[in-house]
Structure 1
Amino acid sequence: MTSRIAASLAAASLALLALTACAPTNSEAPAAESSTAPNTSASSEVALSTADSSIGTIVVDGTGKAVYQFDNDTQNGDSSSCTGQCAANWPAVPGSDAPKLDGVTGEVGTITGVDGEPQLTLNGWPLYYYVGDNAAGDTYGQGLQGIWWVLTPAGKPITSDTSGY
């Protein structure tokens, strides 16, 4: 009987995990630990900054959280393709007309995000956070489903899979 209870609890835990998963589909590859270390000059007042990571120098927000580009978006488009559950898993990076930058060389702008609020863009790509990244330095969204990528300071997606998976 105890084995059945343990098995039921394990199954319920797995079901709960599946329901709250951070990736839009079940085809997610395992994420690797990142060695991303945000610049010490990054602050919450800076909209975009850079950080050194095992992937290379990447763009982060002012608190050191990685930002991502979505291949299903149209570069230099005026809207996001990430809606519904996608937007819940990949929240938009909020934008402003004059964001503070530190080390970012690509062109920064805004679009109207799916929530009607300004969303930052870099080199024409709408920017997103990944809900699976809980702390500065996390890059668990890198390469997910082969369509989510961190960016270089110039705003180019880093599409090589350096996670080892």
Structure 2
Amino acid sequence: MPRSRFTAFAAALLALAPATLLALTSCTSRDDPPETTPSTATAPAPAPDLAASVKVADSPFGRILVDGAGRTLYGFTKDKAKGKDKAGDSACDADCVAVWPALTATRGLEPGPGVRPALLTDTKLAEGAEQAVYGDWPLYYYVGDATAGEVNGQGLDGVWFAVAPDGKLVREPA
């Protein structure tokens, strides 16, 4: 008979399980904050799916291209000098990109005021990202430009120059 008692006990527990779960879950108030596990509490929010904006701004070197936040955009003369197959291909290697990050977008490019939409395109980078290109020049930031309006990268090493609204490099040194 011990076996039938065990079977009866197990059946009783199974019958009570839904009621027990309901009682346990009703103990929390709707006003209580939801519990988080360590894995969900530290997970970063997904990156926004935004388009990159390019517009024109005044600078000490005349009108130049900037991003939507006003940060100066530069062209790299070696992008042409390396004899790439087509205009817009980047010659900036990993060490270069550490100082001159590319302007990339996850959802297209938006031409802002003063930009010629026909000159604003993109090119696929080796790692699959899309880099903004204006005229023949892939666009880059300079890490030495901390705020909008700075042009600290202008003329550096004789190969980095701000890009003008006509798609040409502004070759005036800083």
- The aligned counterpart of 1:25 is none
Letter in 2 for 1:66: T
Q: Per the alignment, in what secondary structure is the counterpart of residue 121 of structure 2? A: strand
Letter in 2 for 1:54: P
CA distance change for structure 1 residues 97 and 156 in 2, over 3 Å: closer, same or farther? Answer: farther
- Count how many residue pairs are aligned between Structure 1 and Structure 2: 119
> Distance in 1 between the 2:127 and 2:151 partners?
24
> Which runs of 5 or more structure 2 residues have no equivalent in the other structure?
1-49
Letter in 2 for 1:81: A
- The aligned counterpart of 2:152 is 140
Ranges of 4+ aligned residues in structure 1 off by more than 4 Å: none
Q: Is the 8 A contact 2:71 2:145 kept in 1?
A: yes
More helix by share: 2
Letter in 2 for 1:125: W
Letter in 2 for 1:129: Y
CA distance change for structure 1 residues 144 and 152 in 2, over 3 Å: closer, same or farther? Answer: same
TM-score normalised by length of structure 2: 0.62
Kindly name which structure, 1 or 2, has the bigger radius of gyration based on alpha carbons: 2
- Larger relative CO (CA 8 A, sep 6+): 1 or 2? 1
Q: Over aligned residue pairs, what C-alpha RMSD do you find?
A: 2.1
Residues 140-159 of structure 1 deviation map (CA, whole Å, 9 limit, x = unaligned): 00000000000111111000
Q: Is the 8 A contact 1:97 1:110 kept in 2?
A: no
Q: Is the 8 A contact 2:51 2:107 kept in 1?
A: no
> Which runs of 5 or more structure 1 residues have no equivalent in the other structure?
1-43
> Distance in 2 between the 1:51 and 1:142 partners?
15
Residue 83 of structure 1 is aligned with which of 64, 79, 93?
Answer: 93
